Homo-oligomer: A and B are copies of this chain.
């Protein structure tokens, strides 16, 4: 059943011994929402704990300041920022069909929970968590809760840059400032700090960049060898895939990553070309400005296929 913020608070108010589920490959929004909710529940005198398929990455450790992981038999389950039960990972078997409340902002939410609040106009689940915090008269918006909520809105909007950012997102950020959130530390941890392996990989990727179609297309690639040499892990590749499109005048940025028997290709585009249409031609998909597809075969072949498809897209555009 769909619930309002106040109904959501009523439901939480009746719960105890609560498991808060975060999605696999956790990001700032699922963790920010999860830990903010933990601290809200703690102020209400309720026992809860975070569960996630993956370990919590070190850069989010500031969220755990007052967190005590307690052992208890759960009586209630709340999922935050999880659109689909498949994202429970190893927790799927244990919690499938057993989520009492889902708090989310993905329009694609599968509505798998008994109760849900899914606000698809919110840039981050943490925007909904803020309202839940205000829904309890006895709960204070502490600095720690503000740090968690700010992290969610900042990371899910690429520091207020992505098109999902709204005036409301800025208003939330402003209120977290009032509550004393440490935005300088958070944004440095989220956006500025690069690992040694990431730096090494960037160097290698920069060396692969080539230009096509009058420099309106830039292509870079990452082979298994490069990953081994630099020690970079999957989570570090995201920003790297954006690099070709960051070059001036580039309308189509392509990043090819070797995987299995071929190459996974990330396509980023500007205003002119629709990335999801381009990738659709090769059996992939995604959004207007960011999409992906997979091409079997070696690097030369994958390059040839994707460049031919990119060329078609340019031609269609100019028609």
Contacts and interface: CB of A to CB of B under 8 A. Distances in A.
Interface of A: 159-163, 165-168, 170-171, 173-175, 177-178, 183-184, 187-188, 191-196, 199, 202-203, 206-207, 209, 215, 242, 245-248
Q: Is the interface of A mostly helix, strand, loop or mixed?
A: helix
A177 B191 CA distance: 23
A161 B187 contact: yes
A185 B195 CA distance: 29
A111 B96 CA distance: 67
A232 B183 CA distance: 32
Contacts of A174: 167-168, 170-171, 174
A160 B160 contact: yes
B159 A194 contact: no
Contact of A203 (B173, B177, B184, B207): B207
B159 A195 contact: no
Contacts of A170: 170-171, 173-174, 177
Contacts of A177: 165-167, 170
Given A160-B160, A161-B187, 9 more contacts: A159-B161, A160-B173, A165-B177, A167-B177, A167-B178, A168-B174, A170-B170, A192-B245, A196-B247
Contacts of A175: 167
Contacts of A207: 203
Given A159-B161, A174-B170, A246 B192 contact: yes
B193 A248 contact: yes
A83 B312 CA distance: 52
Q: Considering the complex of A and B, which 7 residue pairs feature the smallest CB-CB distances, nearest first?
A: A170-B174, A167-B177, A167-B174, A203-B206, A161-B187, A170-B170, A170-B173
Given A167-B178, A196-B248, A184 B206 contact: no
Contact of A206 (B167, B206, B247): B206
A242 B158 CA distance: 19
A143 to B, nearest CB: 14
21 contacts: A159-B159, A159-B160, A160-B173, A161-B183, A161-B191, A163-B184, A165-B183, A167-B174, A167-B175, A167-B177, A168-B174, A170-B173, A171-B174, A174-B174, A192-B245, A192-B246, A195-B248, A196-B248, A203-B203, A203-B206, A206-B206
